[in-house]
């Protein structure tokens, strides 16, 4: 039963991956970057830099890769590498393997994935240190707030870059294998496999939202997705950097991007060009 749940969760993420890839290709536009989050299924070497037993920087790992034993948990390319190839992008380098200087130069995507870790902070901790989903999103925030602006000076262009990038997330297996199924000190007693699956998905979506590009609203309100700005409330200074003006409504810069996508892209079906052309 638990194995069934794990497979199910895994499938959800895999389908998510496939859908985003399909959209990118259907769109016909070049994809500027691939950002990778997750566990050993997509780690490209982050764990080489961490105190952990979960490492793959020795042969036979990578025996069929260009440089063997890079920290990939397979004999050759990972799912993330194969997708990078399909998109015509370089393999996303491991975040922890890049110097501060290198981080401020990479524009084609970064890999934050870390073997043994999962959605819940405690998952994987028995093996040592790893980057939990919270750690990964924190590093990604640093990429958005510090590194990308040093390459792309116009903040609207940063948003556009992110909106056209592919985000690959392959995570959740270790929340079962190194956490739920171990049941540590009885933390999960009383959680049926179904209840744990629900709990995990909820924790996943909370973190996905927290990791968004610019998800924080300009008008701070109370942080709820439904909250509006209050009369004469102080607002953020650089409104072009924000996607959301209040808890639920987009800024002008986001509206411009969405309108453009609706005009000629795929978010409106048919899009406006197709609609105008139609007899
Ligand atoms: C991961 O996050 C935790 C909690 O914020 C922090 O204590 C830890 O140092 C982070 N680990 C890494 C490797 O960044
Ligand atoms: C089990 O251990 C975790 C981590 O140390 C702790 O957060 C949790 O409260 C503990 N649960 C119980 C039931 O003692």
Q: Return the ∠ at Cα 113 (arms to 20 and 60), rounded to 5°.
A: 110
- Among protein residues, the one whose CA lies closest to atom 14 of ligand 1: 135
Q: Which residue among 47, 124, 127, 135 is best mutated to probe the pocket of ligand 1, counting the most ligand atoms within 8 A of its Cβ? A: 135
- Give ligand 1 pocket residues (Cβ under 6 A): 129, 131, 134-135
- Give ligand 2 pocket residues (Cβ under 6 A): 122, 184-187
- Output the CA 188–ligand 2 centroid distance in Å: 10
Pairing of strands 34-38, 166-170: parallel
Active-site positions? 40, 246, 249
Nearest ligand to the CA of 126 is: 2
Tokens at 92, concatenated: 């996303």
List the pLDDT tens digit at each of the 279 positions of the chain.
Answer: 344 444 444 444 444 444 444 444 434 568 999 999 999 999 999 999 999 999 999 999 999 999 999 999 999 999 999 999 999 999 999 999 999 999 999 999 999 999 999 999 999 998 999 999 999 999 998 999 899 999 998 877 888 898 889 988 999 999 999 999 998 888 898 899 989 998 998 888 778 766 667 567 888 755 555 678 888 888 888 888 777 888 778 888 888 888 887 888 877 888 899 999 987
Residue 260 has what pLDDT?
83
Nearest ligand to the CA of 128 is: 1
**CA-CA distance, 221 to 235, in Å (whole number)?**
10
- Output the CA 122–ligand 2 centroid distance in Å: 10
- Output the CA 263–ligand 1 centroid distance in Å: 43
């Amino acid at each position: 039963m638990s194995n069934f749940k794990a497979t199910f969760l895994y499938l959800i993420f895999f389908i998510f991956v496939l859908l985003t890839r399909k959209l990118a290709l259907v769109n016909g536009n070049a994809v500027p970057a691939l950002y990778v989050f997750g566990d050993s299924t997509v780690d490209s070497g982050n764990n080489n830099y961490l105190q952990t037993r979960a490492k793959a920087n020795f042969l036979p790992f990578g025996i069929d890769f260009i440089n063997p034993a890079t920290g990939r948990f397979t004999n050759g390319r990972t799912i993330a590498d194969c997708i990078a190839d399909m998109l015509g992008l370089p393999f996303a380098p491991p975040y922890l393997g890049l110097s501060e200087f290198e981080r401020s130069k990479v524009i084609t995507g970064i890999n934050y994935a870390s073997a043994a870790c999962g959605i819940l902070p405690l998952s994987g901790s028995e093996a040592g240190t790893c980057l939990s989903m919270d750690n990964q999103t924190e590093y990604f925030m640093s990429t958005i707030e510090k590194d990308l602006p040093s390459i792309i000076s116009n903040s609207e262009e940063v948003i556009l870059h992110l909106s056209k990038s592919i985000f690959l997330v392959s995570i959740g297996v270790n929340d079962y294998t190194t956490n739920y199924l171990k049941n540590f000190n009885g933390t999960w007693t009383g959680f049926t496999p179904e209840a744990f699956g629900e709990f995990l998905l909820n924790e996943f979506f909370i973190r996905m939202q927290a990791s968004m590009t610019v998800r924080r609203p300009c008008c701070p309100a109370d942080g709820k997705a439904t909250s509006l700005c209050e009369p004469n409330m102080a607002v953020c200074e650089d409104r072009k950097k924000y996607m959301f003006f209040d808890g639920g409504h987009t800024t002008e810069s986001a509206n411009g991007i969405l309108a453009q996508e609706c005009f000629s892209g795929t978010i409106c079906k048919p899009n406006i060009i197709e609609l105008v052309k139609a007899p």
